[in-house]
Amino acid sequence: MRAFATLTAVAALAFAAPAIAEFKLGDRYTDADGDLIADIPTDESQLVDPSTLIFAYTPVEDPAVYAEVWQEFLDHMAEVTGKSVQFFPVQSNAAQIEAMRAGRLHVAGFNTGSNPLAVACAGFRPFAMMAAKDGSFGYEMEIITYPDSGIEEVEDIKGKQMAFTSETSNSGFKAPSAILKAEYGMEAGTDFEPVFSGKHDNSILGVANKDYPAAAIANSVKRRMIERDVVQADQLVTVYTSQTFPTTGYGMAHNLTPELQDKIKEAFFSFDWEGTKMAEEFGRSGDEQFIPITFQNEWSVIRTIDEANGVEYNCN
Virtual torsion, Cα 233, 235, 241, 246, nearest 10 deg: -60
* Beta carbons within 8 Å of 2's beta carbon, 6+ residues apart: 238, 239, 240, 241
Element (H, E) at 164: strand 161-164
Q: Tell me the pLDDT band of 28, cut-offs 50, 70 and 90.
A: very high
The per-residue pLDDT for 61 is 62
Provide the residue type at 57 as one letter.
Y
pTM of the predicted protein model:
0.79
Q: pLDDT at residue 148 above 70? A: yes
Question: Can you tell me whether residue 63 is helix, strand or coil?
Answer: helix
Q: How far apart are CA 62 and CA 199, in angstroms?
A: 9
The per-residue pLDDT for 1 is 38
Element (H, E) at 177: helix 175-184
Question: Can you tell me whether residue 122 is helix, strand or coil?
Answer: helix
Residues 123 and 30 sit within 8 Å (Cβ to Cβ): no
Q: φ and ψ at 5, to 5 degrees? A: -85, 155
Q: pLDDT at residue 252 above 90? A: yes
Q: φ and ψ at 159, to 5 degrees? A: 80, 0
Q: How far apart are CA 64 and CA 41, in angstroms?
A: 35
Half-sphere exposure at residue 15, Cβ-oriented, CA atoms within 13 angstroms: 7
Give the residue from 131, 77, 86, 130 showing the smallest Cα distance to 270: 77
Domains and CATH numbers, the chain: 13-136+247-308 (3.40.190.10), 139-245 (3.40.190.10)
Residue pLDDT, tens place only, 151-173: 999 999 999 999 999 988 889 99
Angle, helices 93-101 vs 115-122, to 10°: value is: 20
